[in-house]
């Protein structure tokens, strides 16, 4: 008889065709499928998504794949942390059903030549600094949707722009899937959890707290009645610049769906940041909804 630990251990699949075959069988049984797309190096933010999927769906699939198409030359693809065994161990504790961990060759075999491009929301912010990034994200996410045919896909709010791009792709291409964005999971001191946080030195780790402090200041000003985006951004910039190793890529206040910049705060807004602490690039955001 299998032990409880063995019963909970996720089934590892590396072949896209095998993953699809498993899903076909489960869908014939009427099972509801939840997908959590990740690049591995899992932390509590990822696990919160996997728990949500387990609670709401009959079957949970967590993809664990460092996707090469969303990295530009010179970015951190080669050094991006790969911790598959540790990831499986974490997922076993919450009863995830499948871990889908294909190789790059399995996802992009010889002769692969397809592209996916979403305009509009993908051209702002991250799209300016990483022009090919969202094309790679949309390509791999659409492949994962097609392979798993999930009913719901769970994403974290930390990658807010990415979620809006994926939602637009799903809407425009009539992909039959629900996109569920879950709140940012933070460390006790407020730093948004990210696989890239491990790149930070101890001193940089302390300096990185300016991101959350700046977002807290933005919300304080909005709740206090400030409506000029320039005033809010200036206050945030002053906080971030107290960190000696901080370089600001952008501070942006925009519409929550289109991300179009808002000169004056009106209704719900999203505040987005990208800041380099030393050589590590961090993103964070705050969705401020009108109460």
Taking only the tens place, the pLDDT of each residue in 114-133 is 999 999 999 999 999 999 99
pLDDT surpasses 50 at 2? no
Q: Which residues are catalytic?
A: 46
Taking only the tens place, the pLDDT of each residue in 197-251 is 999 999 999 999 999 999 999 999 999 999 999 999 999 999 999 999 999 999 9
CA distance 193 to 227: 30
Check if the beta carbon of residue 146 is closer than 8 Å to that of residue 174: no
Which residue from 266, 237, 240, 35 is spatially nearest to 144, judged by alpha carbons?
35
Q: Parallel, antiparallel, or unpaired for β 33-38 and 98-100?
A: unpaired
Q: How many CA atoms lie within 13 A of 7 on its CB side?
A: 4
pLDDT surpasses 50 at 37? yes
Check if the beta carbon of residue 273 is closer than 8 Å to that of residue 250: yes
Which residue from 16, 6, 277, 270 is spatially nearest to 163, judged by alpha carbons?
270
CA distance 103 to 101: 7
- CA-angle at 91, arms to 88 and 97, nearest 5°: 95
DSSP type of residue 261: B
Taking only the tens place, the pLDDT of each residue in 242-289 is 999 999 999 999 999 999 999 999 999 999 999 999 999 999 999 999
pLDDT at 290: 83
CA distance 195 to 207: 17
Domain coordinates of the chain in residue numbers? 4-182, 195-285
Check if the beta carbon of residue 172 is closer than 8 Å to that of residue 179: no
Q: Which residues pair with 143 in a beta bridge?
A: none
When pLDDT is averaged across residues 171-179 and rounded to a whole number, the result is 98
Rounded to the nearest 10 degrees, the angle between the axes of helix 133-148 and helix 160-172 is: 60
The backbone torsions φ and ψ at residue 87, rounded to the nearest 5 degrees and listed phi first, read -65, -45
CA distance 135 to 98: 26
Going across the sheet that includes 280-288, the strands are: 246-254, 269-277, 280-288
Neighbours of 19 (CB within 10 A): 23
Diameter of the chain measured on Cα atoms: 65
When pLDDT is averaged across residues 167-181 and rounded to a whole number, the result is 98
CA distance 30 to 235: 53
CA distance 153 to 100: 14
User: 4-182 and 195-285 share one CATH topology?
Assistant: no
Domain 195-285 sits in CATH at 3.30.1300.10
CA distance 201 to 195: 14
CATH class in words for 4-182: alpha beta
């Amino acid at each position: 008889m299998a032990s409880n630990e063995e019963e909970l251990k996720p089934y590892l699949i590396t072949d896209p065709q095998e993953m699809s075959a498993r899903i076909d069988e489960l869908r014939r049984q009427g099972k509801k499928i939840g997908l959590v797309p990740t690049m591995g190096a899992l932390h509590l933010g990822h696990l919160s998504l996997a728990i949500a999927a387990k609670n709401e769906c009959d079957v949970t699939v967590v993809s664990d794949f460092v996707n090469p198409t969303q990295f530009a030359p010179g970015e951190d693809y080669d050094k991006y942390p790969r911790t598959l065994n540790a990831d499986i161990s974490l997922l076993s504790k919450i009863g995830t059903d499948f871990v889908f961990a294909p190789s790059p060759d399995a996802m992009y075999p010889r002769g692969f030549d397809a592209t996916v491009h979403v305009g509009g929301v993908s051209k702002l912010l991250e799209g300016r600094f990483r022009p090919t990034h969202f094309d790679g994200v949309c390509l791999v996410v659409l492949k994962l949707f097609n392979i798993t045919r999930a009913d719901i896909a769970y994403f974290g709010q930390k990658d807010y722009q990415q979620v809006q791009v994926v939602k637009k792709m799903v809407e425009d291409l009539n992909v039959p899937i629900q996109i569920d964005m879950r709140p940012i999971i933070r460390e006790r001191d407020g730093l948004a959890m990210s696989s890239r946080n491990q790149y930070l030195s101890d001193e940089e780790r302390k300096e990185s707290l300016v991101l959350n402090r700046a977002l807290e200041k933005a919300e304080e000003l909005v709740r206090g009645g400030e409506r000029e985006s320039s005033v809010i951004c200036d206050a945030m910039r002053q906080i971030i610049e107290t960190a000696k190793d901080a370089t600001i890529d952008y501070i942006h206040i925009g519409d929550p769906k289109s991300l179009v910049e808002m000169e004056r705060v009106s209704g719900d807004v999203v505040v987005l940041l990208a800041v380099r602490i030393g050589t590590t690039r961090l993103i964070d955001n705050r969705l401020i909804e009108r109460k």
